[in-house]
Amino acid sequence: VVIGIVLGLIFGLANSGKKTFEYDNMKITLTEDFTETDVNGWEFCFTSKDTTIFGRKETVKDYPLLESFSLNEYSKLVLSNTKIDSSVELNKHNDYYYFSYVSNNVGGKGDVMYYAIMFDAPDGFMIINFSCLTEKVEELAPQIFEWADSVRFK
């Protein structure tokens, strides 16, 4: 009985501080530090002190040509339509594609690193942007990929 209680406390503490957010048929597990907010031009946004996560879904219903696209093709299209440095490369991580880039002096707050991550959703594709100040990238990049790995669709 004591072992069960101790294990329960250990596993409970390991999961404490996590919070699941939902948008449409997508779920993402972040931390309790995040709140849901609005950002112009995007369908959802979650912010914390150091990180902003925002995204949107592009459905086959809205864009019928997407039906013939693979996730890789869609991701290449997103990258080619983004007005960033041509040296930026598309990468694969687990079951999604991503690219990263820096925007200088965003809102007077400093340089921001963006990770644009594309997911295959049941009814199309979803792009989720994870961003933080470049000075925080070393600390936050592993966490950003952990959050991206937590994305699930119903």
> Which residue has tokens 């792009």?
127
Q: How far is the C-alpha of 36 from the C-alpha of 56, rounded, in Å?
A: 14
**Residue 11: pLDDT over 60:** no
pLDDT value at position 85? 78
Neighbours of 114 (CB within 10 A): 20
Contact between residue 81 and residue 87 where contact means Cβ atoms under 8 Å apart: no
pLDDT value at position 7? 40
Q: How far is the C-alpha of 106 from the C-alpha of 95, rounded, in Å?
A: 30
Q: What is the mean pLDDT of the chain?
A: 89
HEC secondary structure over 60-124: CCCCHHHHHCCHHHHHHHHHHHCCCCCCCCCEEECCEEEEEEEECCHHHCCCEEEEEEEEEECCE
| pTM of the complete model | 0.86
> Which residue has tokens 């961003």?
131
**Residue 2: pLDDT over 70:** no
Percent of the chain at pLDDT exceeding 70: 90
Percent of the chain at pLDDT exceeding 90: 78
For residue 81, give both structure tokens: 């339509």
Could you give the angle at the alpha carbon of 46 between the alpha carbons of 45 and 48, nearest 5°? 140
Whole-angstrom CA distances from 87 to 79, 83, 115, 138 are 11, 12, 15, 21
User: pLDDT-derived band of residue 82, with 50, 70 and 90 as boundaries?
Assistant: confident
- CB neighbour list of residue 17: distance below 8 Å, 6 or more residues apart: 31, 32, 33
Q: How far is the C-alpha of 121 from the C-alpha of 69, rounded, in Å?
A: 12
Q: Give tens-digit pLDDT for 19-66.
A: 999 999 999 999 999 999 998 999 999 999 999 999 999 999 999 999
